[in-house]
Structure 1
Amino acid sequence: MRGEKRLTARQVTTLGEGYHADGGGLYLQVTATGARSWIFRFQRQGKRREMGLGPLSAVSLAQARDRAAEARTQVAFGQDPIAQRRAAQTTGITFGECADAYIESHRGGWKNGAQGDQWAQSLRDHGPARSLPVAEVDTDAVIACLGKIWPTKTETASRVRARIERVLDWAKVRGYRTGDNPARWRGHLDKLLPKPTKVRKPKHHAAMPYRDVPDFMARLVERDSRRRRALRFTILTAARTEEVTGAQWSEFDLDAGLWTIPPERMKGGREHVVPLSAKAIAILDPLDRRTPPFALSENTMLYLVQKPPSSGFGLPYTVHGFRSSFRDWAAETTDFPGEVVEMALAHAIRNKAEAAYRRGTLIEKRRQLMEAWAAYLRA
């Protein structure tokens, strides 16, 4: 007897009229007119029941399997998935409640704990109203929140759109809403909003001139706070924001003075080893080992740099720009080979001669580079 997942992606678009089993109660229904939709069949009190899971045009094979699995679980616990869906649709569960539940259910699979906080913050700032019943989130509601930031914060808006789409998909699988996803891009919002690549990009903030960074570091240490420590550490290591905010204690070997960032947390998907200067280790040493060292939301350090003096430094620079400050300093004031500097920034090594720097004394060369940077910063 064949098991579940009998159908292929090709078959679901080519099979003729009838019911076609995928296994586990999931069927593809093809009508005489060619319309295709998903059906979940189950037994309830000795009677066979059928529950629609959506049309093929809106629900992929993988999504249909997820929905069928959810319904099978309900049946296994003695519940009627059809009644559960109807009841859920009348409870008025809100978008905010669904967003919170989605984040909690996926938190364990994300790269770091801060990612869930980033999701929550971006949806609070730019998503539909948290109090809006999730069943009532429609295209107008999505456009109303995305349209405000699409022209000026296109990258953020694209990320928020994708997050709204996932929350609404989750809500539909859970039975809290029906119909197409109003946050879907292809074939829907792409007809209403310009492509992100076509939107005129705002001018990026310049990197702080490397000559000014030592004085800025002195200002950072005037007061102690978690975000100031995180920013000092970020500048000292020339790391990316997400690499710092997602750091776990298991990545650090303070005795060896090394920070090993796993591939899944790196932009390039390759493990990156950072030689830590004595100043960077001094920031880590006194921190509580029971919590990640710099678990902050994605914009906390940026706000510290850019917000007005009442809450920040009011400067026109980005946190990422300090990597450019580091690179300019190394190129203009030191004799360290360019390949060593590029490796310190976790940039790819593109030829065999340069790749040789990965071996042997590379770590020590880079350690000398980071100690020189720390000395320059008077950190």
Structure 2
Amino acid sequence: MQVIELLAGVKLWKNPSQLSSWKSSIANYCNPFIGEKFVDEITKNDVLKILHPIWIEKTMTASRLRGRLEKIFSYAIHDGLYSGANPASWRGNLDMFLPSPRKCSEQKHFSSLSFSDLRALIPKLMDSEATAAKALLFGVLTATRSVEFTQAHWNEISWKDQVWICPASRRKDGKLEPFRVPLSKQACAILISLKKGSKGCFIFSVDGKSPIRRETPRKFLRTSLGLSSTMHGMRSTFRDWCAENNIDATTAEKCLMHSTGNETVSAYQRSDLLEQRRAILQQWADALFESEETTERKS
């Protein structure tokens, strides 16, 4: 745990959930196997005992845990607390005993809905009073990641400009500037409805004191709606819809907060294309909220 605290200081984690996530993953998955061992007694086989039970069914979790263990052992080796090769390293070590995460069955949890199936899901989300449903719907409309929208604060919303300013601390791409997310009319309506009963600084909160967990939207999809899709899958649906509707690829990627082009292109293309993205996300929202009957009449 000392290493985790050290990492929090080195990485300047601004989100408390990162620290708690590290601690809970070590406590839940590692302690049952190596909790009674000194660090210099832990072997590669011990690491495999930790990872094997969850590698296929919870690949993303297991892969993240392996990376954390590798980092912890790196510090132990540096401080002279562990001798020999890092038992949690991947290349030339664990990759000889575990399949590549990309080939594991966890990918099925990233399955994306077809656009028509996602559109059919919208009324269910609208009718639900659950905070998780509202958060999920907001995530779908903004095509953002759970880690980005579940912890959103009210002070990140610019009502005048109809923009949500996601801080750099929650950007997965590691860029140092905030990311402006244009809000469709439908996304604004969701925020307005939530603002009326809000009791704290977090947009999506059950108790008014803390945000919902980043896993909450996925759990709602699985337990309340019986779906295996995730927010990653919803983002894939958005990207497929963009391709099918001849949306400019670069602008579509920027909607997803993805880097575009090589370093040279990025150096010259510094605009976040806010207004172009606004038009796309409004078109996306209109398409999602359009009834199937209306679409059939148009065709």
Q: With structure 1 as the length reference, what TM-score do the two structures score?
A: 0.57
Cα distance change, pair 114–211 in 1 and its aligned pair in 2 (3 A): same
TM-fit CA distance, 1:197: 3.7
Cα distance change, pair 181–222 in 1 and its aligned pair in 2 (3 A): farther
The residue identity in structure 2 corresponding to 1:221 is: M
- Bigger mean CA deviation after superposition, 250-259 or 114-123: 114-123
TM-fit CA distance, 1:165: 5.3
Matches within 5 A, 1:1-20: none
The aligned counterpart of 2:158 is 253
The aligned counterpart of 1:214 is 119
- Post-superposition Cα deviations, 1:47-79, rounded to whole Å, max 9, x if no partner, equal xxxxxxxxxxxxxxxxxxxxxxxxxxxxxxxxx
Matches within 5 A, 1:202-241: 202=105, 203-204=107-108, 205-241=110-146
Cα distance change, pair 241–199 in 1 and its aligned pair in 2 (3 A): closer
Cα distance change, pair 212–154 in 1 and its aligned pair in 2 (3 A): closer
- Post-superposition Cα deviations, 1:211-232, rounded to whole Å, max 9, x if no partner, equal 1212212112332223222211
Structure 2: how far apart are the matches of 1:264 and 1:166? 21
Structure 1: how far apart are the matches of 2:188 and 2:84? 48
Cα distance change, pair 180–220 in 1 and its aligned pair in 2 (3 A): farther
Structure 2 unaligned regions, length at least 5: 206-210, 291-299
Does 2:33 align with 1:122? no
Contact 1:229–1:283 (8 Å) recurs in 2: yes
Contact 2:119–2:289 (8 Å) recurs in 1: yes
The aligned counterpart of 1:345 is 256
- Bigger mean CA deviation after superposition, 290-299 or 191-200: 191-200
Cα distance change, pair 181–214 in 1 and its aligned pair in 2 (3 A): farther
Does 2:287 align with 1:376? yes
Return the index of the structure with the highest Cα Rg: 1
- Post-superposition Cα deviations, 1:63-112, rounded to whole Å, max 9, x if no partner, equal xxxxxxxxxxxxxxxxxxxxxxxxxxxxxxxxxxx48x946983893242
1:267 is paired with a residue whose SS is coil
Cα distance change, pair 291–152 in 1 and its aligned pair in 2 (3 A): closer
TM-fit CA distance, 1:172: 10
Structure 2: how far apart are the matches of 1:194 and 1:373? 44
Cα distance change, pair 372–288 in 1 and its aligned pair in 2 (3 A): farther
The residue identity in structure 1 corresponding to 2:15 is: N
- Post-superposition Cα deviations, 1:303-351, rounded to whole Å, max 9, x if no partner, equal 2223xxxx33221322211112222333334x64343323212233328
Structure 2: how far apart are the matches of 1:171 and 1:354? 38
The aligned counterpart of 1:366 is 277
Contact 2:47–2:87 (8 Å) recurs in 1: no
TM-fit CA distance, 1:366: 2.0
Does 2:228 align with 1:316? yes
The residue identity in structure 1 corresponding to 2:62 is: A
2:93 is paired with a residue whose SS is helix
Contact 1:237–1:276 (8 Å) recurs in 2: yes
The aligned counterpart of 2:221 is 305
Structure 1: how far apart are the matches of 2:101 and 2:138? 36
The aligned counterpart of 1:325 is 237
Contact 1:243–1:266 (8 Å) recurs in 2: yes
The aligned counterpart of 1:273 is 180
The residue identity in structure 1 corresponding to 2:158 is: D
1:273 is paired with a residue whose SS is strand
Structure 1 unaligned regions, length at least 5: 1-97
Q: Over the residues paired in the alignment, what is the CA RMSD in angstroms?
A: 4.2
Contact 2:4–2:19 (8 Å) recurs in 1: no
1:149 is paired with a residue whose SS is helix
Cα distance change, pair 275–284 in 1 and its aligned pair in 2 (3 A): same
The aligned counterpart of 1:3 is none
Contact 1:235–1:323 (8 Å) recurs in 2: yes
Structure of higher RCO (CA pairs closer than 8 Å, 6+ residues apart): 2
Cα distance change, pair 276–355 in 1 and its aligned pair in 2 (3 A): farther
Contact 2:255–2:277 (8 Å) recurs in 1: yes
Contact 1:323–1:345 (8 Å) recurs in 2: yes
Percent identical among aligned pairs is: 28
The aligned counterpart of 2:54 is 149
TM-fit CA distance, 1:200: 3.6
Structure 1: how far apart are the matches of 2:5 and 2:203? 19
Contact 1:151–1:200 (8 Å) recurs in 2: no
Structure 2: how far apart are the matches of 1:198 and 1:224? 36
Aligned pair count reads 273
Name the structure with the higher strand share: 1
Q: With structure 2 as the length reference, what TM-score do the two structures score?
A: 0.70
- Post-superposition Cα deviations, 1:280-313, rounded to whole Å, max 9, x if no partner, equal 233334134434646343432222223xxxx332
TM-fit CA distance, 1:279: 2.4
Structure 2: how far apart are the matches of 1:281 and 1:192? 46
Cα distance change, pair 130–279 in 1 and its aligned pair in 2 (3 A): farther
